């Protein structure tokens, strides 16, 4: 039963977020327009999270995970990069922060081809931005890039 501890914690968190999102009131149509209600997105993410958690529990049940040894520099470097992510997001732009941190993370974890790391770091935020802006009609917080794009 020890294999259910981590999936249980993740599932409890997901259910708590779903319950909190269900407490949000529906926004009037004149405010939301054609986009989705604010509570739909966290519920959708947590349902996906619950499905993935069920897959994780099944994998733990079929084969016990091996002990993970710390990587040292990569682990602490990743933590440092995530701490750097916040000030870049607040003071510059979230999309630029995603690109910078993703590029640095690729190099930190051993990607030797700089053009591959740069391509990944540039295309991912662009795809995320247009997915949210065009498909979901959700705007990102204002920043350097978003001020230029939104006008």
The answer to the question of residue 46 being in a domain is yes
- Supply the pLDDT for residue 145: 83
Quick check: 35 and 81 in contact, CB under 8 A?
no
Quick one: 56 and 81 in the same domain?
no
Judge if pTM exceeds 0.75. Answer: no
The answer to the question of residue 127 being in a domain is yes
Quick one: 96 and 146 in the same domain?
yes
> Which domain does 128 fall in, by range?
73-150
Task: From residue 130, give the alpha-carbon distance in Å to each of 116, 136, 149.
Answer: 21, 9, 11
- Supply the pLDDT for residue 61: 86
User: In the predicted model, is pLDDT for residue 1 greater than 70?
Assistant: no
Q: Is the dihedral of CA 6, 11, 13, 14 positive or negative?
A: positive
Average pLDDT score over residue span 105-130: 93
Domains of the chain: total = 2
- Supply the pLDDT for residue 36: 64
Quick one: 80 and 20 in the same domain?
no
Residue of higher predicted confidence among 124 and 143:
124
Quick one: 77 and 114 in the same domain?
yes
The answer to the question of residue 39 being in a domain is yes
Report residue 99 CA to chain centroid gap.
Answer: 13
Q: Return d(Cα 39, Cα 106) in angstroms, integer.
A: 33
Using pLDDT thresholds of 50, 70 and 90, give the confidence band for residue 29: low
User: In the predicted model, is pLDDT for residue 33 greater than 80?
Assistant: no
């Amino acid at each position: 039963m020890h294999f259910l501890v981590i999936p249980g914690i993740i599932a409890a968190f997901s259910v708590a977020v779903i319950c909190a999102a269900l407490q949000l009131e529906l926004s009037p149509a004149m405010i939301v327009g054609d986009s989705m209600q604010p509570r739909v997105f966290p519920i959708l993410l947590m349902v996906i999270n619950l499905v993935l958690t069920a897959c994780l529990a099944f994998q733990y049940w079929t084969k016990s995970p091996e002990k993970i040894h710390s990587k040292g520099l990569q682990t602490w470097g990743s933590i440092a990069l995530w701490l750097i992510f916040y000030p870049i997001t607040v003071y510059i732009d979230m999309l630029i922060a995603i690109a910078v941190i993703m590029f640095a993370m690729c190099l930190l974890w051993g990607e030797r081809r700089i053009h591959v790391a740069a391509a990944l770091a540039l295309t991912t935020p662009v795809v995320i931005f247009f997915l949210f802006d065009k498909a979901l009609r959700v705007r990102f917080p204002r920043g350097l890039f978003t001020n230029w794009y939104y006008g």
